Structure 1
Amino acid sequence: MFGCWGATEVTVVSHFLKWINTARVSERAAAASALAQAYVGKNLPFEDRCAAEAALTLLLEDPSAKVRMAIAEALSMSRHAPPQILAALASDQPDIASLVLARSPLFTDDDLIDRVASSVGTVQRIVAGRPYVSMAVSAAIAELGEAEACVALLANSGADIATLSFRRVAERFGHVAAVREALVVDPRLPSDCRHMLLVKVGEVLRQSPLVAASIGPVRAERVMRDACVKASLTLIDGIRFDEHAALVEHLRLRGDLTSAFIVRVVAHGKIDFFGSVLVGLTKQHRKRVTALLAGGRDIALAALFRAAGLPASIDGVVLCALKVWREVASGKRIAGAQEVSWLMLNELGDRPADTNLTALLKSIHLEALRGNAREHALAIAAA
């Protein structure tokens, strides 16, 4: 009786409303689905559409979730569905609400943001997985969503995510392994967020009871700090040149642009990034900084270092390293961090001992020795 709706819908709907009180659940669900499909088919006269809409509205009160699910399935992808019915279905139990929220094109950004703000868990995750998620909705999920919703958002190639939203997710859930993994594999992730995740991992390890019991809190702090510095150097190699400025600013705000870090950067030959550091700290034009690093005299470079706030105590070793890397760049010399750090150590010579700088350069040199030896051993094993 209710599988097809013809030209007498008002009469049919009238019979339908009397019939539903005695019909079985499966019959009510089938009839509700047929009525909803007829409604969105756009072939009903105005009077019949009003009657069908009234019947669908009444069916929202059906005690069986199967009936409401049938309506949701029929209306969820239509632009002609009654908005008040969709709104009610979106507030229904999770499996029904999720179906509508995942599909319906009628929900505006404001509607979706309200759902994110007033819901938890499954509903947030469904919104995050919609075929298209605007930057505004992504921002709401990044700010208010639970961890699983943020994972779903990051996995959604149809989500438009702002740089600031990436940062908020990293700040809020960088300590959660699933979120961290989703962030790291996302090619859109800004470089400063990648560094933030490195720090989060270090903090998780430092706070681990096992680590604290094994090596003590003081040593755990030092190990974490050293590991983050080394990871930061590796990170520099993996980011685009146009991301240098953002990473420099992030490191500056965190207080990580220390003289020790800069000595490491130069010793490892990351001169382009060193140039970005100097540009960020001095606000001088990049062309001038690049020209000075490529061939500037020591006096001019020392003045540049003072403008950047670098201590004079590191001038000698930094200038020594720059000269070696210039020769490497011009093809006049073959050298790596191992040779450069040794020459930097020799540059200290008989000057009054700076024990911290000496210890730092020895550490860099020993790390380079170990790294080269490991690569050599692996090459032998692979031969």
Structure 2
Amino acid sequence: MTVLVQLTPPWTPEAETAHLGDLLALARSRTGDDRQRLLLAITTLCEANPPAEELSEVLGEVLLMLAHQVERDVRRILAERLAKADWAPHALVNMLALDEIEIARPILASSPMLQDDDLIVVLVQATIEHQIEVARRPSLSGRVADTIIDRAEPATLTALASNRTAEISPDGVRRLVEHSRRIAALRAPLTRHPRLTDALAEQLYQWVGTALRQAIGARFQIDDSHLDTSVQQAVDKAFGDSPLALASVESTEFEESERRLIAKLHAADQLRPSYLVRAVREKRLNLFVHGLAALGGFSVAEVRGALNAGSPEAIYYACSAVGIDRAVFVAMINEIRLLNDGAPGTYGAQVWLRGSISAASAARAFRALAHDNAVAKV
């Protein structure tokens, strides 16, 4: 029997010189194909000989520049090859993590270079598909898990609840159980969650179906008939027969979750004007209110007063004060009116047509109008 063995040529100075000569030739070329070959050749070289720490910054800049110039198929291959590399340049990994989802997926799932702050940026800036991949990431930290829970996106919450390795705090599990009251998809993974306690199981039992009640009863050795009676008594005592009371509690809890999210983003210097615009587009008006108040140093009451005023002038000044471009204001205020029963009204001049205004001047104008509104209500 003949056995074929592929031998790796021994390293020689001449071979190394020839290899470097090939890289230099590719570097001098201006064609797209050669740029792609150069990018993958440097990656192969780094895989074989991970760069020393003092060289990684230079290599990172080169690879980042090349990655910006190549086609998506090459970026996808690059992401797959860098997904588990502990030498990969941090800036390049972050760029790939925010790329379209087919490119970002292996990076989000496995890259050891992504830190908590990087993952939180993905949660804030990227698509829901990116957010789901973050929630599925093995051994996800408690800080990132809390951010996911604060954001309260149903699909991302469900992915987190299904992630058995995520470091979810006891309070985080409690909040997931609370969210499962309105998000049915959360209930099944929570019944199997290793951090579900007896007390939380009884709470979850209140709003699951028959099959999941049986699963909870079997896992926690609960007497279903006894718990059914206890649950009904607790519900009657807390809410009576009024569905409006239950809805009010859920609304208050949801707004508090959004307030905590804004506070965390602001403390981490991750809150941006673009996030407020996105919040309006996603029909999350409370998130916009708390975000605008935090960025501008305004009170929530002042922002709500501006949103309910007869004129959009005050809310325009507040938006200008935090850096929201006046070019997007008209579209944004129209979306706000759809979410806020038509307010603010259309009375007054269209001040956004007068030209740009400094952030400091806009903040002063907003506070003056907010004060006038407060005095008028007294």
TM-score, L = length of structure 2: 0.48
TM-score, L = length of structure 1: 0.47
Larger radius of gyration: 1
